[in-house]
Amino acid sequence: MKKLTQTTILFLLTILTASSQDSPYQKAMKKEIAKLIETDSLPLLQQSANAFGRIAELNPAEWQPVYYQGLAYTFQGMDKSLSLDKKDEVLAKADELAQKAEALSKNNSEIVALQGFVLMAKLNADAVSRGQSLSGRVLQTFGKARAMDPKNPRAMALTAQMEYGMAKFFGSGTEKACGYAKESLAIFASQDEPALKAALLPTWGKSLAEQMAKSCQ
């Protein structure tokens, strides 16, 4: 009986300590990040954006909720089923959030990569008329993100996607794009994902890198 009590107490203690390690903020973030990474359905992405919006409202000094809210809107802006107007509307919101995140955390490679992602989504929304004016800006923004953190696998994967699209358009070689895709995969493989997740840092983008690497084969 005594042993049982001790075990119960120990058990309860571990639960208590485990949960006390995670503040309500962290708990909410972890839950929502996991949901966001899994989904590509528009209603779920909007739910996700709203959830991060609620978290951001309560934690105005943190950049991650704003970043993920922006990401959720960017994913929506990439959805082919939306009209151009609707895409522009959500991407304008995403852009606003990416800028807001930058104001909270300066010189952050992840946020700059997100800004580039938003621009790329804008370009994709109407490539014929926006390609010429935006492609340079997109690549420049990704370049900036890579310069800030040469080990940012998302900046690499997104650059690969952009370079790949341009190479296809101009009919030139895809070596450069594929190089970035490989490099991105290598970084993903070397990263300690659980540690990043615990710190609420971005871990998404691996499937994009894999998909790019696959197109290169």
Give the pair of three-digit tokens for residue 100: 């807001």
Alpha helices in the chain (DSSP H): 2-21, 24-38, 42-58, 64-77, 84-104, 109-125, 127-148, 153-170, 175-190, 193-198, 206-216
Give the number of residues written for the chain.
217
CA 159/CA 80 separation, integer angstroms: 21
Does residue 110 touch other proteins according to CB under 8 A?
A: no
Does residue 134 touch other proteins according to CB under 8 A?
A: yes
Q: Residue 212 CB, nearest distance to other proteins (Å)? A: 18
Among 36, 37, 55, 178, binds other proteins (CB under 8 A): 55
Using alpha carbons only, give the angle 206, 84, 42 rounded to the nearest 5 degrees. Answer: 50
- Alpha carbon dihedral 56, 43, 28, 54, in 10-degree steps, equals 30
Does residue 212 touch other proteins according to CB under 8 A?
A: no
Judged by CB under 8 A, the stretch of 129-137, 177-185, 186-194, 200-208 that binds other proteins is: 129-137
Closest to other proteins by CB, 127 or 186: 127
Judged by CB under 8 A, the stretch of 50-58, 149-157, 177-185, 192-200 that binds other proteins is: 50-58
Does residue 14 touch other proteins according to CB under 8 A?
A: no
Site residues for other proteins per CB under 8 A: 5, 24, 28, 43, 46-47, 49-51, 53-55, 57-58, 84-85, 88-90, 92-93, 96, 99-100, 102-103, 122, 126, 128-130, 132-137, 139-140, 143, 166, 169-172
